[in-house]
Structure 1
């Protein structure tokens, strides 16, 4: 665990959602029309649309866009247009919340794993945000659902290493672009019932007063777990890898990993007032509560974010943090998320406001 020698303030946090709202009942009906004749197991799996814990999601394209076959050119164009728009919206809101402008940013960390952009998203957003030509850019790919927590840990480490620098973290994920009509698997059906699009941004610095201080960050990767979660790079886009064993794995292994991560900061599970978790799905939420010794139902912000936005991958845990902040952040919290690797990422936050 990386214990902060220099305090890093979390000055602001903001979220952004795309304009198209997908009601879960409408998605389920569209999926039935599309899949029931070509995927023999669809009816047996259709219950996932009711048990996923999702009511609505947001997407960068209207539902009709997803009902036609799409290849890399279409998906990439949608990623670049929708991703940059969300990037700018979230970044502008976070900067405004900190009382800053784009020209004040010294380091910008971009976390995104649902599309390919070279130049990366922050380069494409520089003019719209008014970023300086000498801003240091740190694009990060491949963190998946762990990206919100891991990105916050990375951004805080960069702020600590560069005193007085303003660090802007932006995470953007467009999971809906992985929706496919061809080569269906059980994981694709689950993804169709679960994933949405969104972005979140925050500003960090060693100078200034924020609503929390990043006290420590940590990661733990389990060996021989590469096939639990990730992407398959295929001819028509990214195909989801999503093992059924994720809830069971989290229930069995997360507690021990968290004990180790906290011990490096001379803390124990009992010291933490609130765990703020990435809500990968309803079964994952229940597994996290069980593994960390919480009563079932305690992860209420997580359930609310999942219901209103679905699983947006990396930004989702920052949506949870935003709800917790608005409701009144606990004195000592741990932000945590599981992602490809298979990896647990955590950030310890101490309330300051």
Structure 2
């Protein structure tokens, strides 16, 4: 049924790079990188505790860990840009093939990545490689970090409200591992190595009239909500400096999201006369096990409601913007009962919140 102002998710897909490592293998790589430092940032015992508490069991990388030694940031960024393009093209091609949709049917290509900065944006090369129409509309979103996948859904939904006949493809490809070795190993870097993995996520969405024509079965987007938390921009992010990309990750992120989540979710649900008790599916970005714990506590819901997110974190780590699409992929294939409402949410630098209210048809 045509529902003005809505859009629908037709497909979510996440592709993982070929190299998979468990904690023991990742710890060995971190210790190798630290051994080259004049002042090691932490002891072997602390490294093991950090990895044990991360909630991650395995993660994937685009390059073998043995190749991630000291090298120039220029070389690493060039490798990263090429890998982002190649993996994005392969993932989009796979998603369209699964939907039996030719590339020339795509009306909008939306892209986001925090690991590639260039002009022209990578979307031009992705569109060319896929054989998209030359008049395809493009949204090259600014880096949104861990909120990237959820922001992608939100901005595509905004577009669809004015273009109900359009078909859109969104891709978020973040490959943090490639930057390892381009700057000194710090305690922050060790924490990142315990948490993050590489991944490429694709979302295919349709405007209301297009969705009705193709009889999509994925969740509909009823509404979206974006916000940021003033005074927290220093807590997580990255800066381009002389020796490459310097990341920063401050304590207290979980506490900040625990405090912010109830207001953000409450505002979105109140627009529709809903409360948390009306939500049957919770899809939360798996930033870390502690972040998931904090958000569940802030919303006063059972942490088991985030079980899909905990499982995704354990299997692939935090894939930055792609992780929320991995959670969506796992939920959407689990035979969600018709009419179920869901909240999809992710948190990123800013600190920012990106939410969508979903309903399965």
Q: TM-score, normalised by structure 2?
A: 0.91
Query: Does the 8 Å contact 2:114/2:145 carry over to 1?
Result: yes
User: Which residue number corresponds to residue 350 of structure 1?
Assistant: 359
Given that residues 222 and 358 in structure 2 are in contact (C-alpha distance below 8 angstroms), is that contact kept between their aligned partners in structure 1? yes
Distance 1:110 1:273 in 2: 29
Q: Deviation of residue 5 (structure 1)? A: 4.0
Assess if the C-alpha contact under 8 Å between 1:76 and 1:115 holds in 2: yes
- Measured in 2, the distance between the counterparts of 1:260 and 1:101 equals 39
- More moved, 75-84 vs 215-224: 75-84
What root-mean-square deviation, in Å, do the aligned CA atoms of Structure 1 and Structure 2 show? 1.8
C-alpha spacing 1:182/1:171, structure 2 compared with 1 (3 Å): closer
Counterpart residue number, 2:56: 54
Paired with 2:219 and 2:354, the residues of 1 have a C-alpha distance of: 18
Residue by residue, what CA displacement relative to the aligned partner does 1:105-126 show, whole Å, maximum 9, x if unpaired?
Answer: 1111001112223222221122
> 1:219, CA displacement in angstroms?
0.8
Deviates more, 1:129-138 or 1:95-104: 95-104
Q: Residue 5 of structure 2 aligns to a residue in which SS?
A: strand
Bigger shift: residues 333-342 or 228-237? 228-237
Q: How many residues align?
A: 348
The equivalent of 1:180 in structure 2 is 181
Q: Distance in 1 between matches of 2:305 and 2:163?
A: 37
| Cα shift readout 1:112-155 (whole Å, capped 9, x = no counterpart) | 11222322222112232110111111111221101111110101
Counterpart selection for 1:256 from 257, 260, 263: 263
The answer to whether residue 335 in structure 2 is matched with residue 335 in structure 1 is: no
1:160-219 deviation digits (Å, cap 9, x = unpaired): 211211111111111112323643332211001111111111111121222111111001
Matches within 5 A, 1:225-236: 225-236=232-243
1:311 aligns with 2:318: yes
Uncovered stretches (5+) of structure 2, i.e. residues with no partner: none
2:183 and 2:126 map into 1 onto residues whose CA distance is: 33
- 1:24 aligned partner: 23
Determine helix, strand or coil for the equivalent of 1:345. Answer: strand
Q: SS at the partner of 2:333? A: helix
> Structure 1: how far apart are the matches of 2:303 and 2:10?
32
Partner residue of 1:9?
A: 8
CA contact (8 A) 2:229 2:260 kept: no
Match of 2:66 in 1: 64
**1:164 equivalent in structure 2:** 165
Structure 1 distance, partners of 2:119, 2:246, is: 20
